[in-house]
Each structure stands twice: as structure tokens, then as C-alpha cells.
Structure 1
Amino acid sequence: MMSTQASKDHPEGQKPPLLVDDHTVTTVREAKILVLLRGLPGSGKTSLAKEIEQKYRDSARLISADQYNIKPSVKSSSGGEYTKLDEELNSCCERHEASVVILDDTHHDQERLEELFDLANRYQFIVVVLEPKTPWRLDCAQLKERNHWKFSVEELKNLRPTLEKDIIPLYFAWFLAKHEEDNLRKTAHDFLEQLGNLKAFKKRLQAFGVEDKHKLDLLKYFAKAPNILHCTSKYCDYGKLPGSEEYAQQEGVKRSYSKGFTLHISSLFITPRTVGAQVELTEEQLFLWPADAEKEVMPKDTFPRGSRAHITLSTAADTQDVQTGIDLLELIKLQQTGKEGENVGEIFGGKLSYYDNGIWMLVLPRKKEVKTIFSGYYGKPGVTVPQRGGKKGILSQCQIM
């Protein structure tokens, strides 16, 4: 049972979804989550951290900067004080000792945060940044009485500016839980394997830049995939893009942060550039979908809201992930003109159609449901987002023989 103090500090309506929403709790148990508690000393981080640890006690590990006597400062002189903590953190992630890793610290220093984001990306953890919602979280006079470091009001005021502004990610997205991700990657592998062996496909390889049907190796052709499969809702570029801060401040976005959602995949598609899964958003999910998401990439065309929703499964070596959504809109644009595509058979019991220019679509016999967590992708500005893949490609054994 959580303590009475924790209950008072965090009223039910102020708690994050991963504590109070049943579907979210189930999803988090199936995911890999790095929870970063952030806030001023005395703001209620430790109470919140312990409550999360208790909720997921069978699969959680709480690591606290206080355990290592790391005193918050405006700027760390060397960073060496985190050596022991980082050894424990790395060991926990590398050895898969917990699927919910909770880090309790002020997390006010950008360089320190970037190190943690890098670690999360390296071990394929979804990052969730949480701050206490206590009424006194920015009240330095009250915090002076509550923090165990005995910081003065002036010292707290020096720390406060770095914590008053929200961290805006590279993009907000629905990130797939680990089991769902593994399953979808296998589905993509099987789709490409079966597609590649079809005579109808082998006859239409010109769009892929090859003439000889025996020389296209899809395994190597689609050489990249996102580090964690996800459906992007809003690309923010760490707040640099117009409308990013407004999106992050929307009440619906704040309420949904760390919440579990079930996405519905209606079809898989492949072009000479990308392999993707088409996502049909529910009414609730459309509230998190920017009104101009389709216009951003195809300003001259009109599409129903949510048409661009997709999961990038893999791409050609020289193709950016953003191309997957553009390819999907191009396909929908063909359908809007009445072009149905040539029916060339079935895969997984679903209808496979060929469109012009190397575009293939498989409409699934029933929608595939995947559990996700709504959060952000965090990294270091200017650093390339990590990808899976390499010389052997991302979908091993997927090869046209």
C-alpha cells in the first residue's frame, strides 16, 4: 500500500495515467519504460517515484540520486558524482533486470538528460518524463521547508529556471509495447518474404531499379528501421517548429502523456522507398492528431484527418522515415481518384493489390491491434535518431530467392 503522505501529495486527478488507468497499467507491464522524475528538491518526486515502484513492484527498479548522495547543483563540475549511479543504471538495462526503470533526480541539467536519453535509445526504452503535480512544486518558500538538503530560498530560485519550462521532444508518438513491436516486426518480415516470392511481384521490379528478378534482396534493400516502432502524432524538432509548444501545452496532450492506447492497423504497404503499416485512429486518438498533419507534406491535396497515420516498419538505405507517411498519402490519393489497384492474390488471408510505380498494399482480413504508450522521443538536437539495421538489413532471412 502507498503511504498516506503520497496520497495527499498526489491527488487522484493529478496522477499520471500509468498509475491510475487500468489499460495503461497493463500496457506498461508489457513495455520497456524509463521513467525520469523531474523537479525541484522537496517537490514530491520521491513520493511519486515510490508509488510507481509499488504499482509495478514485480517488474520495476527505482534508482535514486539521493541513495548516492548526489546533491543538486546549478551545473555539475565534472559529472563524476554520477559514476556509481550510472553503473547501476547501465547494468539494470543491459541485463534486462527490470522493464520499468524509475530514476529519481532533479533532472534539471540538459547535458545530463541527453546522456540518459542516449542510454534509453541504446537499450530501446520508451522515455516518460514526469513531474510532481503538488501545489508547492515551484514555491521556493515551501520547498525550503520540505527539501532534505536544507537548500535556502535563494539556492532553490537559482535551480528553478531550468525546471519551469517543459521539455519538448523531437516528436510525440504512440510507441509500441515490446511484445507488440516484436510481433509486428515478424509480421513485416513474413509479409516481405511472401510478397517477394510471388510471380506477380517478380514481374514488376523495374520500380525498384532492377531488371533481374533473382537479384533483388529485400533483406538488404530495406536496410533500416526505427529503433522503437511508433506512430508519430506531432513532429516538434525539440520545439523549433511552429505550433510545437502550443501542441505540447494542449490539455488533451498533457492528459494523454504516458497513457496506453490500442492502435488499429488496417493494411500493410510497400513502395520502392518504404514499408509501412496504415493506422486507423479512433475519435479519442484523433484529438491528439494535428489538424494540419496531412497539409504539412502535401499542401495542395485534401485528405480526411488522420490519413497520414502510420507505423514505419523499414526503409531503403537512403530514405528518411518521414517518407513513409508521404508514400501512404500518395496511395490514398490514387484511391481517391477511383483507382482500386490490380488484385494479385492473397497474403495472410488479406487482399493484395498492386498500384503503379511499385506500390503494393495488403488489406488485412481483420484489423491488427497493437498496444502503445503515448510519449515523446527525446534525444540530442542535431544527432541522428538511432536506427536498427546494417549490412544484413533489418528483416533477417527476408530474401527473394
Structure 2
Amino acid sequence: MSSQASKDHLEGQKPPLLVDDHSVATVRDSKILVLLRGLPGSGKTTLAKAIEQKYKDTSRLISADEHQIKPAVRSSSGSDYSKLDDELTTCFEKREATLVILDDTHHDRERLDKLFDMANMYHFAVVILEPKTPWRLDCAQLKDRNHWKLSLEELKNLRPTLEKELLPLYFGWFLAKRDEDGMRKTSHEFLEQLGNLKAFKKRLLPYGCEDKQKLDLLKYFAKSPNILHCTAKYCDYGKVLGSEEYAQQEAVKKAYSKGYTLHISALFATPKTVGAQVELQPDQLLVWPADAEKEVMPKDTFPKGSRAHITLGTAADIQDVQTGIDLLEFIKLQQSGKDGEHLGDLTGAVAGKVSYYDNGMWLLNLSRKLEVKSIFSGYYGKPGVSVPLRGSKKGILNQCQIM
């Protein structure tokens, strides 16, 4: 192998957030918790330090080794993590870093669930990385490589917990923090302008409001995802058929931790959801499942990627998955030749034409597409984690008011 080929091979073993310029720039604008996972001696610390060095101005490396936490089966449920967790919590609360790197074996599910909860609490996306060293699962070699001097038997006891890939609730593109903040402001502006539109005020019945009432859309759409994202593949932690095969696809492996720019062409609101339509680019369609549209509308045919969206908010008791279904309803109407009735124009950051499709369905075709940076990763925490939208501390109470 030539020196250049050898270098290319080594670069290919590194995650995109280390070697891809666009990914590096996106990570710098994001809030990410990187969890290094693997057996002792497999190369986690080397990888962790490489990431820390790459992002030395914005990162913080926290190591289980420095807290003398010896890797062992079920050791993580005890009090040995209390000091490490204190350090991690302080880092989050004092905003000491936007990229937090945690170097540990991460073999225990109970321990991982606690970390996922912490990430959600402080609005950090999670990226799980494992070293690609040839010996990472070779206990005979690891016996001589790990500084804990773990025996062959101890390593073999740990290996089953790390051999199987950790699958998320879903894979998707998670918006960089700066772009997420901007997208939330755009969502608020869209809802405020739409709610003040004369044509909208005359069509409140689908939203449960009578005549002579005013609807506060910010209160109506009471929930918003904890981190704005565009879901690519729902896995339910591996319970969904085909999840493991999806995760093993070469395109998915190459995309993991890579930065992408999402293009938003329209915003829409229905009595159930408010969302953004995403136009996937050719490289993004590589990780888009062929059956993504059929999953929710098996009797209809749509172009691949039609369901791609960002959920911006939902009404009470409505699940986020409904947003993609609502978007396909718009596309289904358009496919049948119905373009909606042009009932107004919005200005500013949400400039564009507003069309009404009956049954409370409003679509804003943006005059200028929005671009947002994102990282392709997985969501590993509990389902249904959301935050209240601005001006909605107690859900949708008093959403309709007499004008």
C-alpha cells in the first residue's frame, strides 16, 4: 500500500467530525455529547484525545479512568460514578463546553440511560463513537493493552455487552444549536403572522374555535421537540424490522457524525401540527429508507424523500410522527392537481405565498429557501421528550379568546 493510500485508509477509519471540514464547522455550532464506547484497551482514549484536540477551544474531555472507575459488569449502578456525574453536571450547567467528550466503556444500559436523560435535560445531541482498531474485540490482545490489567476472563465477560450495536429510537439530522434557535424564531414568526392573517381568522373552526374568537397559535401548538431534527429512520432501539440492516448500510455508517445542510422549502400548519418541509439532496437521499413514505401511507405513491420534515410543534396529545403524515396529505392534494387557494402573503424571514387547502391546512411556500446545518446521528433517549413553546407554560389552556 502506497503512503497516500495508507493515509486515505487511516482517514477512512476516523469519524467525519474529525476529518470533514463541513462537519467540523457544524459541530462547532452545535451542542453535542460524544460517548466513546468499547472494551478497555480498544483505542477509546486515543480517539477521545484526538477529538478534544480538534475542538480544543470548545470541548471538554471527561474520563472514567481519571475517576478510577474500573470497568466491570454492572459496576455503573453504584456510587462510583457520583464524582464523574458531578463534573459532567457542572460542565453542562456552567456551559463550560459545547462539545463534551465522555471516555468510558459505556457497556451498561442503565448507565447509558442516565446519560441520555442528562443530555436531554441540557439539550445536547448524542453521538456514540467506537474505535475502529483491528483488536477492539480481541480479548487476547486487549489483555495486554488495557492499563487496568483486566484478565482474559474479565474481558470476555464484558465483550457480549459491547458486541451488539447500540441502536437509537431513530436516526436523523439534528440541527446545529445556532440554526435551531433561528428555526424556532422562524416558527414563531410564521405562527404569529399566520394567526393575524384575516383569511385565517375566518377559518378557525377546524382548530376548535368559534366565530369572534382569536386563536393564539403559539399556545395551540403547545409542544416542540427537545432538539429540532429531521427523522430519517425510526428504529425503536432495534425493535422495528429492518433497523439493524439499516444501521449496517455503508451509507449510514459513513453519514454518522457527518454535517449536512438541510434545505427548507415550505412551512405548514394543520389543526394537529406545524412543520417545515425539507428537500433532501442526493447525498441525503442515500440514507433515506425506500419505504419511509409507505410506512404511514401504504396505499399511496410518493417520490422518495417526500416525508422529510422538521416538526416545529404539535397540538396537545398529538405525536410528532403526525407531522410527516400531514406533509404527505399536502403532497397528495398537490399530486391530484389541487394547489390550494392563495389567501395572502407573509413578509420578513418567512416571506412567501400562503395557500389554504381546506380542513385547517395552511401551506407557506417560502420565497427563499432556508438552509440549516445539521449532524446525522441517533436519538437514544426516552420517546416523547419535548419543551413548551414560548408563551405556553401550561399547555393549550385559554388558547381561544373572545376578540
2:354 equivalent to 1:355: no
What corresponds to 2:33 in structure 1?
34
Report the alpha carbon displacement of residue 68 of structure 1 after superposing the two structures with TM. 0.5
2:42 equivalent to 1:43: yes
CA deviation string 1:293-336 (max 9, x = no partner): 00000000000000000000000011110000000000110001
Note the 1:155-170 alignment, pairs <5 A.
Answer: 155-170=154-169
The one-letter code sitting in structure 1 at the alignment partner of 2:72 is S
2:317 equivalent to 1:318: yes
CA distance in structure 2 between the aligned counterparts of 1:213 and 1:334, rounded to whole angstroms: 30
What corresponds to 1:280 in structure 2?
279
Q: Is the 8 A contact 1:196 1:399 kept in 2?
A: no
What corresponds to 1:251 in structure 2?
250
- Count the aligned residue pairs: 390
CA distance in structure 2 between the aligned counterparts of 1:244 and 1:21, rounded to whole angstroms: 26
Q: Is the 8 A contact 1:379 1:385 kept in 2?
A: no
| TM-score, normalised via structure 1 length | 0.94
3-state SS of the aligned residue for 1:62? strand
Q: Is the 8 A contact 2:266 2:277 kept in 1?
A: yes
> Which segments of 5 or more consecutive residues in structure 1 lack a partner in the other structure?
1-6
Q: Is the 8 A contact 1:193 1:399 kept in 2?
A: no
What corresponds to 1:344 in structure 2?
343
Q: Provide the identity percentage.
A: 74
| TM-score, normalised via structure 2 length | 0.94
CA deviation string 1:231-254 (max 9, x = no partner): 000000000011111101111101
2:187 equivalent to 1:214: no
The one-letter code sitting in structure 2 at the alignment partner of 1:353 is S
3-state SS of the aligned residue for 2:378? strand
Report the alpha carbon displacement of residue 77 of structure 1 after superposing the two structures with TM. 7.2
The one-letter code sitting in structure 2 at the alignment partner of 1:378 is Y
What corresponds to 2:368 in structure 1?
366
CA distance in structure 2 between the aligned counterparts of 1:128 and 1:40, rounded to whole angstroms: 18
3-state SS of the aligned residue for 1:11? helix
Report the alpha carbon displacement of residue 366 of structure 1 after superposing the two structures with TM. 1.4
3-state SS of the aligned residue for 2:75? coil
What corresponds to 1:227 in structure 2?
226
3-state SS of the aligned residue for 1:200? helix
What corresponds to 2:74 in structure 1?
75
CA deviation string 1:172-228 (max 9, x = no partner): 010000000000000010011011111110011111111134342212211000000
> Which segments of 5 or more consecutive residues in structure 2 lack a partner in the other structure?
1-5
Q: Which moved more, 1:95-104 or 1:10-19?
A: 10-19
Q: Which moved more, 1:206-215 or 1:173-182?
A: 206-215
Mark the CA change 1:153 to 1:378 in structure 2 (over 3 Å): closer, same or farther: same
CA deviation string 1:136-164 (max 9, x = no partner): 00111111111000111111111100000
2:140 equivalent to 1:141: yes
The one-letter code sitting in structure 1 at the alignment partner of 2:363 is M
3-state SS of the aligned residue for 2:184? helix
Report the alpha carbon displacement of residue 95 of structure 1 after superposing the two structures with TM. 1.3
CA distance in structure 2 between the aligned counterparts of 1:235 and 1:393, rounded to whole angstroms: 29
Q: Is the 8 A contact 2:77 2:110 kept in 1?
A: no
3-state SS of the aligned residue for 2:159? helix
Report the alpha carbon displacement of residue 33 of structure 1 after superposing the two structures with TM. 0.4
CA deviation string 1:110-130 (max 9, x = no partner): 100000000001111010000
Q: Is the 8 A contact 2:218 2:389 kept in 1?
A: no
Q: Is the 8 A contact 1:218 1:399 kept in 2?
A: no
CA distance in structure 2 between the aligned counterparts of 1:203 and 1:330, rounded to whole angstroms: 22
Q: Is the 8 A contact 1:35 1:101 kept in 2?
A: yes
The one-letter code sitting in structure 2 at the alignment partner of 1:344 is L
CA distance in structure 1 between the aligned counterparts of 2:119 and 2:76, rounded to whole angstroms: 24
Report the alpha carbon displacement of residue 11 of structure 1 after superposing the two structures with TM. 2.2
2:190 equivalent to 1:191: yes
CA distance in structure 2 between the aligned counterparts of 1:333 and 1:390, rounded to whole angstroms: 29
What corresponds to 2:200 in structure 1?
201
2:243 equivalent to 1:241: no
CA distance in structure 2 between the aligned counterparts of 1:77 and 1:16, rounded to whole angstroms: 27
Which portions of structure 1, spanning 4 or more consecutive aligned residues, are displaced by more than 6 angstroms?
398-401
CA distance in structure 2 between the aligned counterparts of 1:77 and 1:39, rounded to whole angstroms: 15
CA distance in structure 2 between the aligned counterparts of 1:284 and 1:236, rounded to whole angstroms: 21
Q: Is the 8 A contact 2:76 2:108 kept in 1?
A: no
What corresponds to 2:112 in structure 1?
113
What corresponds to 2:3 in structure 1?
none
CA deviation string 1:335-365 (max 9, x = no partner): 0110111111211331111111110000111
CA distance in structure 1 between the aligned counterparts of 2:76 and 2:232, rounded to whole angstroms: 38
CA distance in structure 1 between the aligned counterparts of 2:178 and 2:307, rounded to whole angstroms: 25
What corresponds to 2:123 in structure 1?
124
CA distance in structure 1 between the aligned counterparts of 2:201 and 2:158, rounded to whole angstroms: 62
Report the alpha carbon displacement of residue 385 of structure 1 after superposing the two structures with TM. 2.5
The one-letter code sitting in structure 2 at the alignment partner of 1:19 is L
